[in-house]
């Protein structure tokens, strides 16, 4: 008889208990992660801008100018789309879930924007290395010095694509779970 009760007890559907504290905690963690992401974007954009500005001034390279414009644009996009809001202190569970879902949507949009704006970087990188590659093709040993940069650039784009795609999927999955949860509240 006790085994039957145990089986019956364990076979019951588990409820998804969501508390306001859990939603608040998740919203704070998301806010922290998004702020760190925006800070990294600012830092990367500043470094890229400094390097490309130096190259643009010294060698009058069009690719460097494109990368410089992209760097400034990424900093602007990070400020506009990447900075998270704060969950109101007096929010109900329904309002908290809705706030958290909106912030997840904002993060997903930001990630997609990052991925879509990476193509000017590829174009700028091609314009940046095209003169060096042209010279390298004329001299037998120089192309060996240019090839690692080309391979590194291609590897970076492929890796970035995988990372962004994985992050977007994870955020989308959580949004879908929140949409299901929202119907029950």
Which pLDDT tens digit goes with each residue over 107-129?
A: 888 888 877 777 777 777 777 77
Q: Which two tokens stand for residue 76?
A: 């602007």
Angle of helix 20-59 versus helix 62-77 axis, rounded to 10: 160
Long-range contacts of 121-124 (CB under 8 A, 24+ apart): 121/67, 121/70, 122/153, 122/157, 123/63, 123/66, 124/52, 124/63, 124/64, 124/65, 124/66, 124/67, 124/70
Which residue, chain included where needed, has tokens 């970076």? 156
Which pLDDT tens digit goes with each residue over 53-77?
A: 887 787 777 777 877 888 888 888 8
Tell whether pTM > 0.75: no
107 sits in which H/E element: helix 93-116
- Domain boundaries defined on the chain: 19-184
């Amino acid at each position: 008889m006790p085994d039957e009760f145990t089986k019956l007890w364990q076979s019951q559907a588990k409820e998804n208990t969501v508390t306001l504290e859990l939603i608040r905690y998740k919203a704070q963690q998301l806010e922290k992660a998004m702020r760190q992401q925006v800070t990294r974007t600012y830092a990367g954009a500043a470094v890229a801008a400094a390097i490309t500005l130096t190259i643009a001034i010294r060698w009058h390279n069009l690719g460097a100018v494109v990368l410089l414009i992209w760097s400034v644009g990424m900093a602007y996009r990070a400020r506009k789309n990447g900075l998270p809001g704060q969950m109101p202190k007096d929010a109900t569970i329904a309002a908290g879930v809705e706030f958290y879902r909106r912030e997840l949507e904002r993060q997903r949009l930001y990630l997609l924007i990052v991925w879509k704006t990476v193509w000017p970087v590829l174009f700028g990188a091609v314009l940046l290395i095209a003169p060096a590659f042209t010279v390298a093709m004329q001299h037998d040993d120089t192309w060996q010095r240019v090839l690692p940069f080309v391979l590194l650039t291609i590897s970076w784009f492929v890796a970035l694509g995988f990372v962004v795609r994985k992050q977007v999927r994870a955020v989308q999955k959580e949004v879908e779970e929140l949409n299901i949860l929202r119907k029950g509240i």
